[in-house]
Structure 1
Amino acid sequence: INPDGSKGACTACHFRHEFSAAQAREPEACSRCHLGPDHPQKEIYEESAHGIAYKAHKEKMNLDSSKWIVGEDYNSAPTCATCHMSRTKDLPVTHDVGDRIAWNLRAPVSFRIDEKAKKQGKQVKSWIERRKDMKSVCRSCHGNNIVDAHFEQLDTFVLTFNDKFLVPAKKLFVALLENGLRDKTKFNEKVEWDYFYLWHHEGRRARHGAAMFAPDYVHWEGVFEVAHRFYIEMVPEIEEAIAEARASGNTEGADKVEKLLNEILDSEMHRWFKGAKPPKAWRPSDSDNHGFNIMKARMKAEAEAAAPKTK
């Protein structure tokens, strides 16, 4: 238990012998765990403008300050600790690294960080309050327009990622099992590995890249790989499973999965794959089901529903 009551081991960040606050404030302290193909926060940070600025101006970071308040003791760049744990002019130190996070970006389909706890009847800090705190950190250096635009872009990206790839992929993955087109043994069929890579590796990279200003991880290391995995790996494997099921006499199961696959591939987001006309580029003037205005209205309604009710 940390001194502020949160769960954790102090020595995970404050290494033995020195027990240094300055050392724990450096991004390298987090990179012992947060790196690699499935959660490359270290690499994403290093690619981002924040990481580049930190490396260029580390000597200005005042890491040994006893209070270390962003915008007061330093303003060259944030580190991981700045955004997730350290003091600001308005917020105290926290050792709960999820205290300012609004999304769970680790799950197959991302969800608001308080969603599961609320369903269990638990009283927890709402995602909207966590988002307000994170925005407060950002505003130590940035204006409202930049801060609001970033989080609107992040939310739109996460919702689009969910709707376009992970929700349909999960439906197909479950349907294969329910209809006898794959067995219950885990990871003994290629489609299981591809589904895992889709969300656990490529999907996480894309979402974390969007959260932390790393365009290459959003696109080439993220969505590009996600799209390839979905269209070029999973879809043919599902089509092959359908053919094998039909040949073995499981016509009913094959028909159900084929119907679901066709519904997905004929939908607005995927119809291009079968040669149909794709939707327009997403502009504020779009009126398509997945247009920008629809996403924006959806996010606004979600925020209003989560906001504390006033009498």
Structure 2
Amino acid sequence: MTTTGPEADDPLDDVEHRDITVEGQRKVVHVMGRGPAVIVLAEMPGISPHVARFARWVRDAGFTVYMPSLFGRDGAFPRTAEGRAVMQQACVSAEFRAFAANASSPVTRWLRALASLAHGECGGPGVGAIGMCFTGNFALTMMLERAMLAPVLCQPSLPLNSPGGLEISPDDAATVRERLERENLTVLAYRFEGDRFCTAQRFKAYAEALGDRFVPRVLPSSAAHPSPPPFFAEVVGCAHSVVTAHLIDAAGEPTLAARDEILAFFTQRLRGGDGGTPS
């Protein structure tokens, strides 16, 4: 990775840039590493240097990372004006349902097909995925694909207009719950206590939909990095991005412990270990 300063764009020059077509749609997917597949879904406003840093941590833990370009300018440092424009565009895109509860974004069909393709390419028992913010719930909907084994939801924020709403249909949620129970799988989820986009109401709704298969982690807002990039300071305006923009990369920090728990979760699930609830 080549950078020129703390506010530099990330050139993503250590990854393979692939055009992948599934479900009749072509998207750029950044691929790196070796081992079982993990799909890293960027938060708003896109694949920032912090998202890419997390993806490299996943790679270095022994996985092949598939990081699809879903919105924004890949590698861009999250500045306010550009980030706000990306968010506005995504909110009216036909691929996403930013304001619709009880329904999944259409792009999740493409992501489920990507998971199947990645499993075929990488082998192993299955695939992991982590969604963040705007994509936070996508890893759950991807559990409708049988190759998916390890879903992580970081600050799932849709629907934006319903603090207690879920971006998945009740029927699909019931199907996922039945699979989680049948296969002894769990869903890891993270949020900051004071997050106004991913609220306690939303985690309560997930718990009601998934039962004890939903494993929530709530970090104190004081554990967030105090100086995030401008988009997060000025547009998001609260502790939000657990393993990216608000992560503090220092020993003993709750956000770093969350990162380590996620990497251990992927290792447990995707290298043939027991899929039970993390302790």
Q: Is this a same-fold pair by TM over 0.5? A: no
Larger RCO (CA under 8 A, 6+ residues apart)? 2
Structure with more of its chain in strand, by fraction: 2
TM-score by length of 2: 0.26
Structure holding more helix per residue: 1
| Bigger radius of gyration | 1
TM-score (norm 1): 0.24
